[in-house]
Structure 1
Amino acid sequence: MTGEGAQPRHDPAGVGGRHDHGRASGAHNLIVRVCPGDIDRMGHVNNSVYLRWIEEAVHAHWAALATPTEFAAYLWLAVRHELDYRRPAFAEDILRVETRIVAIRRVRAWYETAVTCGEAVLVEARSCWCCIDAESRGLTPIPAEMTKRFLPENCPGS
């Protein structure tokens, strides 16, 4: 929700919104605090909110690792998300959204993401993203130099 008087979706000024760039492992962590606007009629975080956080983590990962030239030249477009919901989260919970690229092939990159609260895994996700040329908006192969930087050495496509 956005607009005047709307509750923030998460708390980037507080605990939420912190980023930890695990460059050695290829992981990126986004920390979020569950706000009242994230809660549905069942009293826990709505499933669609997890997807939003996963997308935010992927975009933050891209922004953290891309060079300024790459960031200007390419965009990421989600083409598939598969989420497994394990446990609920509640208002004021502090969550970690950890994402990493696990494979790259031509124009596609596959991310795996886990949303955790402490040691508990709440959501596991696998997403497929395509690389888009920012000017033409057409699919474009992911350059080899980006693949080397984004993928740990033992992953497919590296």
Structure 2
Amino acid sequence: MTTSDLKPKMNFHVETSRADAHSSFSRCKSAEIILDTDMQGNPNAFNPAELLLSALSACIIKGVERVTPILHFQLKGIQVIVDGIRQDVPPKMESIRYKIIVDTDESDDRLHLLHENIKKYGTVFNTIAPGTDLSGEICRK
């Protein structure tokens, strides 16, 4: 038995309900997000594919927040841009490309180290990667 077997697993809980023919909403903890579940599209909400890309973006930024204190990596800001291409048959995200833009004075080697840690320890990143052509770059602002 390893020490990772003894560590309790994290659990997540989200509840989603249909509001009307144009939108639904998901609740988690004390937060709520409106979702585009309209077959014609709803410009005032994220559709499921956009929500997936947002989850990846949030995972990347949360990964940065997790590893910067460990690496003693200094940054002033971060932006993540994500683009996805959907195939029709079977419907799935065929490819996802991301760009991480970091406002930092750290060296290129340290920027590369940050990127490697993001890819290694991101829950959403590692869930998406095996079934999708996922690639991206990290650069400085």
TM-score when scaled to structure 2? Answer: 0.41
TM-score when scaled to structure 1? Answer: 0.38
**Bigger RCO (CA 8 Å, 6+ sep):** 1
More helix by share: 2
Larger Rg: 2
More strand by share: 1
